[in-house]
Structure 1
């Protein structure tokens, strides 16, 4: 059985929207290694993230150093009710509209990790349905004051901290797992 491993770039006040604001902090080798460790078996994306990732990653080919080998070679499953197969990006298929049973079936069908990045609406649903095995928040030392947040008002998701890692650029990775019952 596979795992669902989420990674998000997030501000101190919870904003995850269009993370171009992260550029001023740089991207360290240790951050790259941490994210690379999450890139295992497959990719699960929401439609909006798919539409952003496809042009950015497909242009990189299968270069291992840039991550293109994983992003272009791995099977990509897109949760969407508006796109149809065949998708343009190689190894991409439509999973259909969000359905927790379908997501669980996907987890059951792989032996490794299923990587999720961005895809905020999808991640919210996965968390609410208890389908996320690790939530890796790369917290940037900035409060943005406005923007799309990972958690919505009224959404209560109990989690447990399983690890932290600080980077020289001021970013802290906090890794959470499901709360212990």
Structure 2
């Protein structure tokens, strides 16, 4: 049985919007290794529609020479959670509606982990339904003062357990959370 591993770039104040602010903090070798470990264990990518539509044009133009992650993003089966997308344009891809039971079954069907990047609306639902096995937050040393937020004001409470942490020399901190016991 695979795990659902979520990878989010976030700011100190919790913003998870389009992460252009990450460009001010170039990846360190350790950060590249840890991010690669997340994608390396995955044999499927689970994305919300908006992230899928944003990733497609960006990744489909990249080769391994441009970015070592390009083959993973371009060649790995994508599962796009959407009630509006009917024809995927960046494949291989399968579209499915959000259904917690179906996504739990998908974890059993995929030979490896399911990697989630961005997809805030989807991730909030996955957390609420107890489907996230690992939440990897890469916290950047910047505050934006605006969202969207992974945990927006007035949203449901989420209690998680810290599984690990790594501080990088660029000021980014990688926090790994899992389901809270009991």
DSSP 3-state at the match of 1:41: strand
Name the counterpart of 2:173: 172
**Alpha-carbon distance in 2 for matches of 1:64, 1:75:** 21
DSSP 3-state at the match of 2:89: coil
Are the equivalent residues in 2 in contact too, given 1:64–1:70 (CA < 8 A)?
no
Name the counterpart of 1:160: 161
DSSP 3-state at the match of 2:4: strand
Superposition deviation, residue 27 in structure 1: 1.6
Within 5 Å, give how 1:1-181 maps onto structure 2: 1-39=1-39, 40-61=42-63, 65-85=67-87, 87-95=88-96, 97-152=97-152, 153-181=154-182
| Alignment gaps of 5+ in structure 2 | none
Are the equivalent residues in 2 in contact too, given 1:63–1:69 (CA < 8 A)?
no
**Alpha-carbon distance in 2 for matches of 1:34, 1:179:** 23
DSSP 3-state at the match of 2:132: coil
Superposition deviation, residue 46 in structure 1: 0.2
When residues 76 and 63 of structure 1 are mapped into structure 2, their CA distance, relative to the original with a 3 A threshold, is: farther
Superposition deviation, residue 129 in structure 1: 0.2
Superposition deviation, residue 65 in structure 1: 5.0
TM-score when scaled to structure 1?
A: 0.94
**Alpha-carbon distance in 2 for matches of 1:60, 1:154:** 37
Are the equivalent residues in 2 in contact too, given 1:3–1:132 (CA < 8 A)?
yes
**Alpha-carbon distance in 1 for matches of 2:129, 2:3:** 14
Cα root mean square deviation, aligned = 1.4
Between Structure 1 and Structure 2, how many residues are aligned? 179
| Runs (4+) off by over 4 Å | 62-65
Are the equivalent residues in 2 in contact too, given 1:41–1:112 (CA < 8 A)?
yes
Which range is displaced more, 105-114 or 124-133?
105-114
TM-score when scaled to structure 2?
A: 0.94
**Alpha-carbon distance in 1 for matches of 2:142, 2:71:** 32
